[in-house]
Amino acid sequence: MILCGDRLAADKALSVGLVEEVVESGEALSTAMALATSASGQSPTSIAACKRLIHSARDVSIGTGLIAERDEFVALFSTEDQKEGVNAFLEKRAPEWKNK
């Protein structure tokens, strides 16, 4: 695809894992906003960790990336937000993130 400059239809891009979702024409913005709204309900600390990992992935090997992922997970596991997330889930309520 890259070397030959081939164009891909949306269904082909989805089937080869190049994209995660295909939406109807004109629905990209509303779909993106819905995803952003969903993400905004997550712990800000965990969102920041995910963004750090995504941004660093282009500059490191897979092995280094996996180590970084483990390190972020371990760091997140001892946060107040992790405990709040579990408690909110068990109590069937929305979490109240402290960003700590």
How buried is 76 (Cβ within 10 angstroms: 0-12 exposed, 13-18 middle, 19+ buried)? middle
Domain 43-100 listed as CATH 2.40.50.100: no
99 pLDDT higher than 80: yes
Residue extents of the structural domains in the chain: 1-40, 43-100
Q: What is the pLDDT of residue 64?
A: 94
Sign of CA dihedral 15, 10, 62, 83: negative
Kindly report, residue by residue over 35-49, the tens digit of the pLDDT: 999 998 899 999 999
pLDDT at 1 over 80: no
Average pLDDT of the chain, as a whole number: 92
| Predicted TM-score (pTM) of this structure | 0.69
Across residues 55-69, what is the average pLDDT?
93
